[in-house]
Amino acid sequence: MTNYHLTPSQFREEGKKIIDWIADYYEKIESYPVLSQVKPGEIKAGLPENPPQKGEPFEHIIRDLDEKIMPGITHWQSPNFYAYFPSNTSFPSILGDLVSSGLGVQGMIWATSPAATELETRVLDWLAEMMDMPEKFRSTSTGGGVIQDTASTSALTAVIAARERATKFRSNKTGVREMLVAYVSSQTHSSLEKAIKMAGIGSENLRLVEVDEQFSMRPDLLHELIREDKKKGFHPFFVCATIGTTSSNAIDPVRKIGEICKEENCWLHVDAAMSGTAMLCPEFRYLKDGVELADSYSFNPHKWMFVNFDCNVFWVANREELISTFSILPEYLRNKATESGEVFDYRDWHVQLGRRFRSLKLWFVIRHYGVEGLQFHIRKHVEIAQNFTRWVKDSNEFEMVVEPALNLVCFRHKAGDDFNMALMNAVNETGKAFFTHTKLNGQVVLRMSIGQTYTEEEHVKQTWNLIQKTAGRMTQG
Amino acid sequence: MTNYHLTPSQFREEGKKIIDWIADYYEKIESYPVLSQVKPGEIKAGLPENPPQKGEPFEHIIRDLDEKIMPGITHWQSPNFYAYFPSNTSFPSILGDLVSSGLGVQGMIWATSPAATELETRVLDWLAEMMDMPEKFRSTSTGGGVIQDTASTSALTAVIAARERATKFRSNKTGVREMLVAYVSSQTHSSLEKAIKMAGIGSENLRLVEVDEQFSMRPDLLHELIREDKKKGFHPFFVCATIGTTSSNAIDPVRKIGEICKEENCWLHVDAAMSGTAMLCPEFRYLKDGVELADSYSFNPHKWMFVNFDCNVFWVANREELISTFSILPEYLRNKATESGEVFDYRDWHVQLGRRFRSLKLWFVIRHYGVEGLQFHIRKHVEIAQNFTRWVKDSNEFEMVVEPALNLVCFRHKAGDDFNMALMNAVNETGKAFFTHTKLNGQVVLRMSIGQTYTEEEHVKQTWNLIQKTAGRMTQG
């Protein structure tokens, strides 16, 4: 035997079977229980304890995929998945990512595969145009975009770049020696706290600003806190405003927060991970009013934009600040081409060095759907959420908790916290739908996140009927 | 129009075309110039400045892929790619990753798709067995493995966990307040310096230990530096030992370094990104002698193990230290199941929260090749490197710089630095092969990294002939 590889012709055969397997999966996806029903350890117990000494035929792997792995899958791509957030994919994205896997290039610097860098730059400029983002976030201006894996990593990137700017790039050399303080709201995603810890700032130096009745950050309280901290000798350096909190999709007032950041010389990071995709539609862009005051902005094409995970977009207003923070090249290796903007070496724009060719899937999606196709689907999901809201308001047993800004509906049954938790569990256990809960003002709230690729109004209607029927049975029982 | 999506049957059709496109690519891969010949900006200029308003037919996207993207691709999967490091893929890996894209699940915590967590745990325990790693790195003991994107992120993870252990988990709260000091060799990968900066330690607090004539860290000098730092009031907390430096594949003496770490109470991270894959073969395991003294260990299945990027394995000896560092759940939400090891929530094992189902591609590769198939290919690459070494030694014009431990050959023409750089560029410009250089002891050294999936001895032989012929022509000219 000269080698153990599949030949290209074997790959044609096995690959086409996998394509069919995926198509079959989507055709029957509604027949699976949305939430996996397995117990801890059940999947692992079905897999051999020891690795195979000899290679196995491909059909055995696929057989085990069906029999041993699939029962442990929670079906995020089901149209009846309403949990957490819309982490959705689409066939064009799957195929774009497949081409990326096939090419297997490393895009760590321009030179290692120029197309990987230049397509990314081009597509992120397209996105900036598609969302009417400020000029400064474009590669043709002072800033630019870079694809990151997740909004968490983008948050870490922003915190570290802000830390360096605030300390005149001293912290990278000496370590964190100043009393830096950062500000988020009480509703901000936990990844910001994690970033503050990882960057060596410390969670004691993270202030949680209180929110208003819409769960949006109160800028007056932010300003107060900053002033107090300055009086005490702290150095306020970073504020995160959120467009769409994970819990209730609350929108922070970016303009007011941005004005305070300018006055107080803080880096403003806008975390639009949850709802940034909505900016594809002009009618929702009021939600990002003031974004021209931001130093960085991040949103997730892998949420609600039909691009499979991972694909986060991080825009920065001043790329030199970013590169000065993350470049690991000694000064004498920096070159004119990089600094003129003629070529970007994206490994100097973030945490990692190695880079997958992720712009391909984004390019496939934008070209397949076009701006108008993407807008169509975003609008449809928002419309379904509005209809769901009406159904809740029309019922006697349920109530809305906040008015939905977009596609996340926060509601509850009037019978109290325990009832709501029991109701949610009962519906999820049917396998016919999967949704999750949060707590707002100490109360259990049910969340319907409407944004999976194949979710149509009839799915949501059936789920609403199921919720009502289950609640009715529980009330009677 | 009710939607803009591809239907499953359209996906069958387009997907099979992409499978054929990839198979075609591998059949003709040797006809492309290995190193892309485009100039900065050339690819971007070929792409429209504005995004498409309307969706486009799939065949237009593929046409542009061929015409506008492919000229900017450097062909990492070509058998004549000898640059940087072996970032190789394989057909089984491509298909495993395709299934992952198709399922589109989020594996951030156990509950979001139990199979994604449990397959990962199982496969990383398999790998620990396949490489005879210490018991403590297995999920059945005190530690365990987790898939990360890159060795850079694993290095950052190790640095932050070490920082927390050294400060009794105070730094996460207060920020970095102690005079922590870390140690690497002068040959250690730059990602360690980057991690030390990002974690708020500061590059001034990173000591570069000198190396011996094999470019391996000198443990005597490490110990001296630690003792001096302690006398000066610093707090030594972290040492990184490398199994295979990027520059010359030097191997640090892990056992001696580990003994010093135990004595001086430092976290030992072993970075085996470059050559960890070789541990699949018993005859190369002497290179990791002493690894049972490590607190963490990282290697890359996406390097030399036929798994497409990204797939880094991070093993930790004490998972509780890791989880205490990265968990963002308040204490009251921690549960018995997590702490007993019954379920892992991998988002608490690293920087990111969102997680792709990456263990699928690893599982496909291990099952397809089996232990014996993987060993066969590793051994073949090492044997080719040994033959290349002999050819260099047999020539009058070239010389070896270090004796290769595995599959990286460092050699040079005797005519000096400028000649070597010119020779390398001349060969790379032919498009028939691509290799890179490094500097060792201030001298330019040529590197042949022999580890791409389809590299056979005849490819290397032809490249060696090309190098000799080109050098001959340059000497005469």
- DSSP output for A139-197: TTTT-EEEEES-HHHHHHHHHHHHHHHHTTT-HHHH-S-S-EEEEEETTS-HHHHHHHH
What is the enclosing helix (H) or strand (E) of B9?
A: helix B8-27
**Left if phi > 0, otherwise alpha if psi is -120 to 50, otherwise beta: which for A441?**
left
B63 and A CB contact within 8 Å: no
B87 pLDDT above the threshold of 80 = yes
* Model pLDDT for residues A390-447, shown as the tens digit of each residue: 999 999 999 999 999 999 999 999 999 999 999 999 999 999 999 999 999 999 999 9
What number is the average pLDDT over the span B243-259?
A: 97
Q: CA–CA separation, B350 vs B155, rounded Å?
A: 11
A335 pLDDT above the threshold of 50 = no
Rounded to a whole number of angstroms, the distance from the CA of B114 to the nearest CA of chain A is 5
B1 pLDDT above the threshold of 90 = no
B331 pLDDT above the threshold of 70 = no
% of chain B residues with pLDDT over 90: 95
* Model pLDDT for residues A389-398, shown as the tens digit of each residue: 999 999 999 9
Residues of A with Cβ-Cβ distance to B197 under 8 angstroms? 171-173
Confidence of residue B221 (pLDDT cuts 50, 70, 90): very high
The pLDDT of residue A476: 84
Q: Which of B102, B173, B180 sits opposite A25 (nearest CB)?
A: B102
B4 and A CB contact within 8 Å: yes
A-interface mutation test, from B44, B237, B381, most A Cβ less than 10 A away: B44
**Mean of per-residue pLDDT scores for chain B:** 95
Query: Contact A104/B76, CB-based, under 8 Å?
Result: yes
B104 and A CB contact within 8 Å: yes
What number is the average pLDDT over the span A50-61?
A: 97
B203 and A CB contact within 8 Å: yes
Query: Contact A194/B72, CB-based, under 8 Å?
Result: no
Confidence of residue B330 (pLDDT cuts 50, 70, 90): very low
Query: Contact A50/B129, CB-based, under 8 Å?
Result: yes
B55 and A CB contact within 8 Å: yes
* Model pLDDT for residues A140-171, shown as the tens digit of each residue: 999 999 999 999 999 999 999 999 999 999 99
Query: Contact A52/B175, CB-based, under 8 Å?
Result: no
A23 and B CB contact within 8 Å: yes
Confidence of residue A118 (pLDDT cuts 50, 70, 90): very high
Query: Contact A308/B127, CB-based, under 8 Å?
Result: no
Rounded to a whole number of angstroms, the distance from the CA of B149 to the nearest CA of chain A is 8
B172 pLDDT above the threshold of 70 = yes
The token pair at B362 is: 């690893």
The pLDDT of residue B333: 45
For residue B390, which of B461, B451, B473, B462 has the smallest C-alpha distance? B461
A55 and B CB contact within 8 Å: yes
The pLDDT of residue B111: 87
The pLDDT of residue A332: 37
A29 and B CB contact within 8 Å: no
Rounded to a whole number of angstroms, the distance from the CA of A84 to the nearest CA of chain B is 9
B126 and A CB contact within 8 Å: yes
Q: CA–CA separation, A266 vs A294, rounded Å?
A: 10
A292 and B CB contact within 8 Å: no
A330 and B CB contact within 8 Å: no
A339 pLDDT above the threshold of 70 = no
Residues of A with Cβ-Cβ distance to B76 under 8 angstroms? 103-106, 112-113
What domains are there in chain B, each with its CATH number?
A: 105-356 (3.40.640.10), 364-476 (3.90.1150.10)
Q: CA–CA separation, A277 vs A131, rounded Å?
A: 8
Rounded to a whole number of angstroms, the distance from the CA of A90 to the nearest CA of chain B is 7
The pLDDT of residue B337: 52
What number is the average pLDDT over the span A245-265?
A: 97
A22 and B CB contact within 8 Å: yes
Q: Which of B52, B113, B302 sits opposite A366 (nearest CB)?
A: B52
Confidence of residue B289 (pLDDT cuts 50, 70, 90): very high
Query: Contact A126/B50, CB-based, under 8 Å?
Result: yes
A199 and B CB contact within 8 Å: yes
The pLDDT of residue A1: 55
CA angle A136/A138/A139 to nearest 5° reads: 120
Confidence of residue B341 (pLDDT cuts 50, 70, 90): low
B339 pLDDT above the threshold of 70 = no
Residues of B with Cβ-Cβ distance to A118 under 8 angstroms? 41-44, 47, 72
Between the alpha carbon of residue B379 and those of residues B81, B281, B375, B458, the distances in Å are: 18, 8, 6, 16
Query: Contact B191/A328, CB-based, under 8 Å?
Result: yes
B332 pLDDT above the threshold of 50 = no
A31 and B CB contact within 8 Å: no
Residues 216-275 of B with CB under 8 A from A: none
The pLDDT of residue A111: 87
Q: Which of B41, B197, B309 sits opposite A106 (nearest CB)?
A: B309
Nearest CA in chain A to B89: A104
The token pair at A116 is: 């990987």
A333 pLDDT above the threshold of 50 = no
Q: Contact at 8 Å (CB) between B25 and B454?
A: no
Rounded to a whole number of angstroms, the distance from the CA of B192 to the nearest CA of chain A is 10
Buried b (16+ CB within 10 A) or exposed e, B274-305: bbbbbbbbeebeebbebbebbbbbbbbbbbbb
Q: CA–CA separation, A301 vs A331, rounded Å?
A: 34
The pLDDT of residue B2: 77
Confidence of residue B335 (pLDDT cuts 50, 70, 90): very low
Confidence of residue B476 (pLDDT cuts 50, 70, 90): confident
A5 and B CB contact within 8 Å: yes
What are φ and ψ of residue B411, in 5° steps? -145, 175
B14 pLDDT above the threshold of 80 = yes
Query: Contact B94/A93, CB-based, under 8 Å?
Result: no
Higher pLDDT, B332 or A12: A12
* Model pLDDT for residues A166-202, shown as the tens digit of each residue: 999 999 999 999 999 999 999 999 999 999 999 999 9
Could you give the 3-state DSSP secondary structure of residue A25? helix
B40 and A CB contact within 8 Å: yes
In A248-363, which ranges are E strands? 267-272, 296-299, 312-316
Rounded to a whole number of angstroms, the distance from the CA of B318 to the nearest CA of chain A is 19
Give the CA diameter of chain B: 76
What number is the average pLDDT over the span B331-340?
A: 50
Q: Which of B77, B172, B352 sits opposite A203 (nearest CB)?
A: B172
A338 pLDDT above the threshold of 70 = no
Residues 162-181 of A with CB under 8 A from B: 163, 171-176, 180
Q: Which of B60, B171, B370 sits opposite A54 (nearest CB)?
A: B370
In B210-303, which ranges are E strands? 235-242, 267-272, 296-299
The pLDDT of residue A439: 92
* Model pLDDT for residues B423-464, shown as the tens digit of each residue: 999 999 999 999 999 999 999 999 999 999 999 999 999 999
Nearest CA in chain A to B176: A200
Confidence of residue B466 (pLDDT cuts 50, 70, 90): very high
Nearest CA in chain A to B348: A194
Confidence of residue A85 (pLDDT cuts 50, 70, 90): very high
**Residue A53: count of CB within 10 angstroms of its CB:** 11
% of chain A residues with pLDDT over 90: 95
Query: Contact A453/B5, CB-based, under 8 Å?
Result: yes
Cα Rg, chain B, nearest whole Å: 24
